Amino acid sequence: MTVTAVVARDSGRRVQAVGDWPGARLFNDLPSMLLEPGLYDLVVIASPSSLHAEHADAVSVAGKPFVLDKPIATTAAEARRVVSAASSSGTPFTVFHNRRWDPEQLTLAALLDRGDLGKVHTFERHWERWRPKPQQRWKENDTVGGGLLLDLGPHLVDSATQLFGPVVAVYAETRALSTPTEDDVFLVLHHAAPGSRPGVVQGRAAADVLFGGGPPATGVVSRLWAGSLVGAPGPRTRVLGDGGAYLVNSFEGDASPFDVLDGEQPEGTHGWLVRGRERTAVAQPRGGHADFYTAVAEWLAGEAEVPVDPADAVRTAEVLDAARRSAKEGRLIDV
């Protein structure tokens, strides 16, 4: 694929676009670019999250296939409208859930397929950073489209549901420690038990869940963290089963007191299969983020299925809506 057109208003971003993609046409706004449909075959929408629905609707009306960054909208209702508008106009689109192609995600999926962990009961993932001085951008300051629940939350929820199935109930805690919107997020997802139908679990008070009432009978429980004010990030991923655990200590070079352990990782492996004091490096399958756009090209050519079904992103938005309500009401919420 070749980048042939870019929408950017900021002067610095326009200079960057010229340097990154010489020859690409520059436009000041999306409507202007949509008036030149012969320039491109695919639109990639990577605007601030609060504009995703508006921009997706405009591209749907123009009838151009598109990739929409996550989250596809700031609420589940808005996400459903995005999908409905694209369907009504017959405009195909997919969602940029590139973290499905993370090395740890691919390695863990292969490990689960082999059954090396036995019956899994708990999935934990930390996406944490040490940023005592917040960055001055919309992700930190926009109280509608910013915040870690909408920034990292879609990746965390999508990763969990891809591995362990639909979510039937959510408990969440969120705080704004150093920014106007939340920069500290904790999610507990109860996945549907194998063979059960999602949506049949009744919610109950958080006190019941935490102090004796017990959670509803479900499958795997995912515990997910996202934080910007974390002086000791990690370990990144821990998956627990009755046959052992999968452990990844660090993530993409981010500072962590645990990264020394991953420094011992043999070439061609990612993470560890752990049983008490015993640990074995886990072979990493081939693949990476670039495979998303390889899949997009095959999808556009009619040679493959859509890389990420937008319906998956709607279900993720429903989980995040439930998390927002749970954090406000302090209880477990059905999805």
Most confident of 133-142, 166-175, 196-205, 251-260: 166-175
pLDDT at 195: 67
pTM of the predicted model, to two decimals? Answer: 0.90
| CA dihedral (203, 126, 162, 146) positive or negative | positive
pLDDT at 206: 38
Q: What is the layout of strands, in order, in the sheet containing 93-96?
A: 43-45, 66-69, 93-96
Q: Are strands 221-227 and 184-191 parallel, antiparallel or unpaired?
A: antiparallel
| Burial class (CB within 10 angstroms; exposed 0-12, middle 13-18, buried 19+) of 11 | exposed
Residue 214, pLDDT > 80, answer: no
What is the rounded CA–CA span in Å between residue 131 and residue 233? Answer: 11
pLDDT at 213: 41
pLDDT at 196: 62
Q: Are strands 93-96 and 269-275 parallel, antiparallel or unpaired?
A: unpaired
Residue 198, pLDDT > 50, answer: no
Q: Give tens-digit pLDDT for 12-63.
A: 999 999 999 999 999 999 999 999 999 999 999 999 999 999 999 999 999 9
Q: How many CB atoms lie within 10 A of CB 178?
A: 14
Instruction: Name 72's bridge partners.
Output: none
Amino acid in position 303: E
pLDDT at 207: 36
pLDDT at 125: 97
- Find the mean pLDDT for residues 165-191: 97
Amino acid in position 164: F
* Contact call for residues 201 and 168 (beta carbons, < 8 A): yes
Domains detected in the chain? 5-97 (3.40.50.720), 99-289+318-334 (3.30.360.10)
- Find the mean pLDDT for residues 109-119: 96
Instruction: Name 43's bridge partners.
Output: 66
Residues above pLDDT 70, as percent of the chain: 93
